[in-house]
Structures are given as C-alpha cells and as structure tokens.
Amino acid sequence: MTELQHTPLHAAHLALNARMVDFGGWDMPVNYGSQIDEHHAVRTDAGMFDVSHMRVVDFNGDAVRDFFKLAIANNVDKLTVPGKALYSCLLNSNGGVIDDLIVYYFAEDHFRVVVNASTAEKDIEWFGQLNAEGEFGLSITPRRDLAIVAVQGPNAREKTWQVLPDTRAATESIKPFNAVRFPSTPFGELMLARTGYTGEDGFEIVVPATHVEALWNALKAQGVKPAGLGARDTLRLEAGMNLYGQDMDEHVSPLDAGLAWTVDLKTSRDFVGRSALEAHGSKANFVGLILRKEDGRAGGVLRAHQKVVTPLGDGEITSGTFSPTMQESIAFARVPAGVNPGDTVHVVIRDKQLPASVVKLPFVRNGKVLASL
Amino acid sequence: MSIPAELKYTESHEWVRTEADGTLTIGITDHAQEALGDIVFIELPAAGKTVAAGDAIAVIESVKAASDIYAPVSGEIVAANDALAATPDQVNGAPYDSWLFKIKPAGDASLDKLLDAEGYGKSIGE
C-alpha cells in the first residue's frame, strides 16, 4: 500500500480527534464529531472544510485564453473581468469527462484553475499535452505550495472578515463566482473566492501552506465549525452539485450528467470533445429522487448504484444519502429520457422495490428546501 | 472506547447479554456506532422469526453507509426494540442501553465462539 498523502492541516485534524479516511490517496477528516451537526452548522451558521488536497494550477503565457477555448467545454470568453470564475468540464476527445474544475481569470496572460485531488496528476499531464500539441507556449505551474480552506454558511463571510478585516472592503460587494487576490496579509498572499460546494454563501480561501494552520485556528476562534468530508457530501448532494468519479467520469457525457448548462454548444468554438458530444446527443435524464415514506418512515437510505425501475426502462442512482436538512433520503439518478420531475419510480433496496418521487435539482439552496414530493 | 466487562461480543461488533431466563439481548458496540457515524435508519427482525448463527437479520444505516447486523447464535427472535425506528440516533448516544433484539437460543446453540471484553478489545486493536 502506498503511503497516504497529508494536507498541511493534517496535524490540526488529528488534534481535533477527527475520524480520518483514505480519500483518493489522501488521509482526510470524514467527521470530527457528528457529521449531521457539522452539516447543520454550515446550513445555519458557518463551517469550514480543508480542501487542500485539491490542486491549484497557474497558467501563464500570451495564448492562455486561446488554450482554454480549446481545452474546456464552457465558454472562457465569459471571463472578461479580473477575478471572474467559471465552472467547466474538461473533456476527452470522446466527450467523456476527464474532470470538473473552476477557471479563474486574472489577466490575459494569467489564468488559474482548481482541479480535483484524485484527478490532478492526470489533468496536469493532459494540460501539458494540449499545450505542446497546440504550441501554446504556456508555462503550467501546479501550486503544491498552496492550501485551500472553504468557509461556508450564512455567517461565513462575516466570520472571515472578523479574521481578515482588510479583505472586507474588496470582497463585500463581489458577486458569487468572483475572486479577489490580496498580495500581503498576516496569512501571506491570499485569494478569496465567493465559491463553494455546499449551496451556501461563503469563501474558498487559497492560502500559502505555511500559513493555513494559523488561518484555520483563527477562523475556529471566531466560531467557524470544522466540518469533514461526510458533511461536505450531504451538503453538496442537497445543493444538487455533482461529484467527479461518482456522478460523471471519462465514460459519461456531461449531457447525461445534468451538466448541459456548462457545455457551450451555442458558439462555433471547436473545443476538445465537442464533435463527439454532438454526435452522441443526450441519452438520459439526470434527476433528483426523494424516497417516499410509509407510516412516516422511509424503508432505507438511497445509495449510489441502486437500480431505479421506471416504465421506460432501468436507471441507476449515482449518489445518494440521508438529507439532514430535509430529514429524507435523497439521490441523484441517471434515468431514461422521458422520466421527468413529478413522476414516480421504484428503487431497489435490499431486494425490495420502494417508491421514490422524481424531482428537479437542487434540493436545498441557501438554507431553504426547494424540492418537494 | 467503552467495552463493558459483563457483556460478550462478536467479531462483527455485536454485544450479547445473557438474561436470567436464558434469552440473549443483542446490540452493537460503542466501537461500531462510532465507526458508522450518525445512525438514521434501523430495520429489525420480527418477533417469532427463526434465525441461524451468522445470518444477517437486521440493518443499520448511518448517513455514510449501510451495515448488516448478524445473529450471534441460532434461535428464535422473541422481541425487537421497535421504538428505535423513530429514534435510531439513540444507538449513537447509548449503544449498550439501545438493544436491538432478543433471541431465545436453540437447544444446541453454543456461546463458545463469543468473545469476552478483553478478547473483543484486542480484536479492535484496543
């Protein structure tokens, strides 16, 4: 067995008695105490996640915009204001998803991406290959010297400003999916992005690895509750946000994974994977499910890979869990085209077929339940 | 990690208490509830059901995962703690008070394979 990788906050997690798990080769906190308490802290106040296993990669060079026009499925020309961010899939030539990522625009010769931990090496190799083949002449720099803390919840920004008062003026008025960089703070050079993976307001803070523990402790002193990957999963599921490797991968089209909104087929731009996507079209619907209760009780918990039986054929749950906010079992499912919100399907749990309602995603946003039976 | 000395244990993390009338009361250990995390669903066997040692006869689901609960001995289910269905998180708070079911052991049922507290502690690396 290869040795697990550690983030710069590893010792801090152990000091908090976190339950640690192997998450794609990284030794990461799944919960510190009750993961449901951590979930509610993010929905109602403020929680923070160590996401330093994710990789920041900087792209420098005159042709960086042209590079991303080729490399990613979303339209990078939406990025014109410095600090603006864009969520996109990175596709292979078959139209399968190599990764999902966020691209930040800083200047015409400097873009930044943040990619998933488990795919980082593969992505960097792919970027290098596209850069060489297209002769873009970019320098591509993985920033293992940087850590990331996601501070999320209705009070997350306020508590961040208590710790970083000098960032308030510049970040108070930025809209979601925008970032500001601060070259010099007590915690070194920071990037504060109004992004996240929970469906709540907040910041993702990119901070030098050397300063992240001090920042973590300062946030904790302001009452920001450490939250693990367990709560991160229930929060992102409620928020209708996909998880790479579970809801989509190299063998799944973004058009069959609820990500059509991120794929730019409107402009004539020829990006990697476009022709395959257009030839393939959309073959499935990606929907939310809520397990129905009988006598006030659900018959189990929806989980990934359970079979979904519909009148139009079988589908499959890609992610499922118990929703602490809704007190219901919820899931994402890939189902045959024609199965739509409002329909009833049946999920096979331990050889029983249990009824579930098909709903539109997301389930929860900004503390409010949006989906209903 | 709490491992009461007066109970017996299985390697699959059930605790077993022998009652005065010879029936066995079964639950899951503190170690098991801690590993599962927040418990949100419990499915118990019906009273009257005949079970064999090692059968998966109940299910506990946490937010994270589903876990089978096994019959430690052969016998008949004489009671199930159906109140837990409404408040499954009781098992997290008080694993040794939150019994799941009671078994009347079959005549030839053997308790020899059960571990004592020390043996169970060793099996979980305590």
What is the CB neighbour count within 10 angstroms for residue B117?
Answer: 17
Backbone angles phi, psi at B70, to 5 degrees: -105, 150
Domain ranges of chain B: 8-107
CATH (one of 1.10.1040.10, 2.40.50.100, 3.30.70.100, 3.40.50.880) for B8-107: 2.40.50.100
Q: From start to end of chain B, where are the E strands?
A: 8-9, 14-18, 24-28, 39-43, 50-51, 56-62, 66-70, 75-80, 101-105
Contact A234, A329 (CB under 8 A): no
Instruction: Report the predicted TM-score, pTM, of the whole model to 2 decimal places.
Output: 0.95
Calculate what percentage of chain B has a pLDDT beyond 70. Answer: 100
Tell me the fold of A1-281.
Gyrase A; domain 2 (3.30.1360)
User: What pLDDT was estimated at residue A1?
Assistant: 55
CA distance A256 to A282: 6
Contact A35, A230 (CB under 8 A): yes
Cβ–Cβ gap B63/A19 under 8 Å: no
Strand partners, A205: A149, A192
User: What pLDDT was estimated at residue B112?
Assistant: 85
Angle at A36 between CA A35 and CA A42, to 5 degrees: 90
Query: B1 pLDDT exceeds 90?
Result: no
Mean pLDDT of chain B: 95
What is the CB neighbour count within 10 angstroms for residue A55?
Answer: 21
What lies within 8 Å, CB to CB, of A199 at 6+ separation is A235, A236, A238, A239, A240, A241, A362, A364, A365, A366
- Which of A109-118, A356-365, B62-71, B107-116 is predicted least confidently? B107-116
User: What pLDDT was estimated at residue A371?
Assistant: 84
* A181-219 b/e (C-beta count within 10 Å ≥ 16 → b): bbeebebbebbbbbbbbbbbbbbbbbbbbebbbebbebb
ipTM associated with this complex: 0.90
Domain ranges of chain A: 1-281, 283-373
- Region B104-126 average pLDDT: 90
Our measurement of the distance from residue B35's CA atom to the centroid of its chain's CA atoms, rounded to an integer in Å, reads 15
Q: Which of A363, A20, A349, A22 is nearest to B61 (CA)?
A: A349
Choosing among B38, B61, B87, which should be mutated to test the A contact, i.e. which has the most A CBs within 10 A? B38
Point out the residues of chain A with pLDDT beneath 50. none
Strand partners, A140: A59
Put simply, whether B47 touches A (Cβ < 8 Å) is no
Put simply, whether B43 touches A (Cβ < 8 Å) is yes
- Amino acid of residue B52: A
User: What pLDDT was estimated at residue A372?
Assistant: 75
How close does chain A come to B86, measured CA to CA in Å? 8
What is the CB neighbour count within 10 angstroms for residue A338?
Answer: 12
For A32, name the nearest residue in chain B, comparing CA atoms only.
B37
Put simply, whether B90 touches A (Cβ < 8 Å) is no
What is the CB neighbour count within 10 angstroms for residue A56?
Answer: 21
CA distance A180 to A205: 10
Cβ–Cβ gap B41/A31 under 8 Å: no
Cβ–Cβ gap B64/A30 under 8 Å: yes
Cβ–Cβ gap A30/B41 under 8 Å: no
CA distance B62 to A301: 9
Residues 97-116 of B with CB under 8 A from A: none
Contact A281, A311 (CB under 8 A): no
Q: How many residues does chain B have?
A: 126
Cβ–Cβ gap B43/A298 under 8 Å: no
Write down the CATH number for the domain with range A283-373. Answer: 2.40.30.110
Helix, strand, or coil here: A278? helix
Query: Residue B104 corresponds to which tokens in the numbers above?
Result: 């009347």
For A327, name the nearest residue in chain B, comparing CA atoms only.
B40
CA distance A154 to A175: 15
Query: B113 pLDDT exceeds 90?
Result: no
Q: Max CA-CA distance within chain B? A: 39
Query: B122 pLDDT exceeds 80?
Result: yes
Angle at A285 between CA A280 and CA A289, to 5 degrees: 155
* A225-226 vs A47-50, strand pairing mode: parallel
